[in-house]
Amino acid sequence: MGDNATLAALTPRQRRALESLLTSGDVTAAAIVAGVARQTVHKWLQQPAFKAALEQAESEKLHDLQSALVRLGDKAVTTLGAELDGDSPMAAGARVRAADIVLGRLLQLRELVTLEERIAALEAATKDGQK
């Protein structure tokens, strides 16, 4: 989660809150895990170092999920192929539906990643243009 320099800028409580935010997405839960008030986590979310660490950790998490979906995508395609060939026994409908869901989510995730890359490029171009 995050590079060492980004995490080094955070206190141990902030690191615990960050990990909790990644898993739960809930400020109250993050505050409890970090042993601080909910308002403190809200303040941290406004600090550039904490925001940068959270954004980096979220990006890494998204990359990990994308990799996992790609691996599941291989299984989904194999499942669909077996069903189309009629080589698979009972419960074919459930497996085909699961494969369809995995492939659909994989395509959605790819679109999201592509959009994030395009937005980042536009933001960088805008910053360069303002200099």
**pLDDT at residue 89, rounded to an integer:** 59
Higher per-residue confidence, 85 vs 125:
125
DSSP string, 28-57: HHHHHHHTS-HHHHHHHHHSHHHHHHHHHH
Residue 1 has pLDDT above 60, yes or no: no
Residue 81 has pLDDT above 80, yes or no: no
Segment 23-39, tens digit of pLDDT: 998 999 999 999 999 99
Residue 121 has pLDDT above 60, yes or no: yes
pTM greater than 0.85 (yes/no): no
- Please tell me whether residue 127 adopts helix, strand or coil conformation: helix
Q: How many domains does the chain have?
A: 1
User: What's the alpha-carbon Rg for the chain, to the nearest Å?
Assistant: 20
Residue 32 identity (one-letter amino acid): I
The rounded distance, in Å, linking the Cα atoms of 38 and 48 is 18
Residues spanned by the domain of 70: 4-130
Residue 7 has pLDDT above 70, yes or no: yes
